[in-house]
Amino acid sequence: MIEKFVPDIYAQSIYRIDYEKLVKKGIKCVIFDLDNTIVPVDRSAPSRDAVNLMFKIKSLGLKPILMSNSMKKRVEPFRNILEIDSCASSKKPLKKNYKKILSIYKFKNEEVACIGDQLITDIWGANGMGMTSILVNPISKKDKTITLFNRFLEGIIMKRLESKELFKKGAYYD
């Protein structure tokens, strides 16, 4: 059970992920979390770096998709500026919207990698779907109120994972 929270890849940020390596592994689609993965929760537009990264990802032949538990109103500006498709109010880690994405874009589970900053939504969701899960550090210390409880649980899970030597904070791997 606890293994479901272990990310396949652990990177400092979205800028430290080896996307070329993902392509070589057969990944065709990269699902990005928004808040604290691409931007801090209190920012309403992506950075120039984020825009450039999406451009790079597309040029590698990967399909980036924004999948956020935030509402459409929050997600829409990023969808427009980053010029990528999106799924708002996605209810991660529930499977429904992951399945919807697979059926719309005709990807197989193993062709998809999911990047996010939370074990309980992003990593658990991706692992449950048999997708490649990639954990990044949250960009800022600030979280949405709704996330605070998840962070509390995440702290407990991380301690458990560390005691079983399944995961160590700051020990990045790919």
Let me know: does 30 contact 19? Beta carbons within 8 Å: yes
d(CA 49, CA 35): 16
Residues 105-134 as x/- pattern, contact with Mg ion by CB under 5 A: ------------x-----------------
- List helix spans (H) across 2-95: 19-24, 48-59, 72-82
Query: Is residue 143 a contact point for Mg ion (CB under 5 A)?
Result: no
- Which residue's CB is nearer to Mg ion, number 36 or number 127? 36
Beta carbon of residue 116, minimum distance to Mg ion (angstroms, whole number): 5
- Least distance between Mg ion and beta carbon 106 (Å): 27
Judged by CB under 5 A, which stretch of 1-9, 26-34, 52-60, 81-89 contacts Mg ion?
Answer: 26-34
- CB of 108: closest distance to Mg ion in angstroms? 25
Distance (Å, rounded) from C-alpha 170 to C-alpha 96? 32
Query: Among 9, 36, 50, 126, which residue interacts with Mg ion (rule: CB under 5 A)?
Result: 36
Q: Which range of residues in 16-24, 32-40, 88-96, 128-136 is near Mg ion by CB under 5 A? A: 32-40
Contact 121, 90 (CB under 8 A): no
Q: Where are the beta strands (DSSP E) in 43-142?
A: 63-67, 85-87, 112-116, 132-136
Question: Which of 35, 111, 143, 154 contacts Mg ion by CB under 5 A?
Answer: 35
Burial (Cβ within 10 Å: 0-12, 13-18, ≥19) of residue 165: exposed
The radius of gyration computed from the CA coordinates of the chain, to the nearest angstrom, equals 15
Q: Which stretch binds Mg ion (CB under 5 A): 20-28, 36-44, 49-57, 87-95?
A: 36-44
Which parts of this chain interact with Mg ion (CB under 5 A)? 33, 35-37, 117
